Structure 1
Amino acid sequence: MGKFEIKKDKSDQFRFNLKASNGQVILSSEAYKTKASCDNGIESVRKNSQDDAKYDRKTAKDGSPYFNLKASNGQVIGASQMYSNASAMENGIASVKKNAPDAVVEEV
């Protein structure tokens, strides 16, 4: 089962990573000023992760595919890692869809 890990960064802001059951990070958040805002971001990922239209498939300057998950208002709520090819990116999206709804939340 996947999990959301919440941690404070060096600037004392909160971030979360969604990890698959194998421990690999599949989605990373922006920085949030408060833990409550971070918690809201996690709930937004849970809610929006099932809608394929909320995934913005992108290509980095070096040609690596990646994706952003967007909320209903169009704001990015999570970004993926860089992938080696489009098929691997699609597997990453499938993993977010599978893991996000029931992922536990841990503070680290």
Structure 2
Amino acid sequence: MFRVLTAAGIVVGFSVSAASAQDTKLKFELYKGKDDQFRWRLKAGNGAILATAGQGYKAAADAKHGIELVQKAGTDSKEKFEVYEDEKKEHRWRLKAANGQVVATSSEGYKAKADAEKAVASIKTGVAKAEVVEVKE
């Protein structure tokens, strides 16, 4: 069981296997943040946030391009997922574009490296079919 702290400060629990079972229900939410920057987050079918852009974009089209890069990541070898250990000794993942820029990051840390790798595998298999919806914050 993993925990995710949402932007609203709510702790949501989910397991990697539960997220894997809901691959076809992955969805991107595109929204305009309080800073007037466009952002996106990738959600599992159960509502857990799996990934974020980690940055804001001035134009919605640029945020949508970031989403497209993530959607291609499951089949395109130009984008690379990296699993790493953070300062808290938790395992996280990030997706880098061919130019080295980070385009997506895990929204949580995992105690075991294998769990972070399972999350990446789950995203790779379901992200191409993820719908994109615009939401208001």
Number of matched pairs: 108
Q: 1:5 aligns with which of 7, 11, 29?
A: 29
Percent identical residues: 37
Say if 1:64 and 1:82, in contact at 8 Å, map to a contact too: yes
Q: 1:36 aligns with which of 61, 68, 72?
A: 61
For residues 21 and 27 of structure 1, what CA distance do their matches in structure 2 show?
A: 13
TM-score by length of 2: 0.73
For residues 106 and 76 of structure 1, what CA distance do their matches in structure 2 show?
A: 22
Q: 2:98 aligns with which of 49, 68, 72?
A: 72
For residues 53 and 47 of structure 1, what CA distance do their matches in structure 2 show?
A: 8
Alignment root-mean-square deviation, CA: 1.6
Structure 1: gaps (5+ residues): none
- The one-letter amino acid of 1:101's match is A
Q: 1:62 aligns with which of 88, 95, 98?
A: 88
- Higher-Rg structure is 2
TM-score by length of 1: 0.91
Aligned to 1:15: 39
For residues 45 and 7 of structure 1, what CA distance do their matches in structure 2 show?
A: 17
Provide runs of 4+ in structure 1 moved above 6 Å.
none
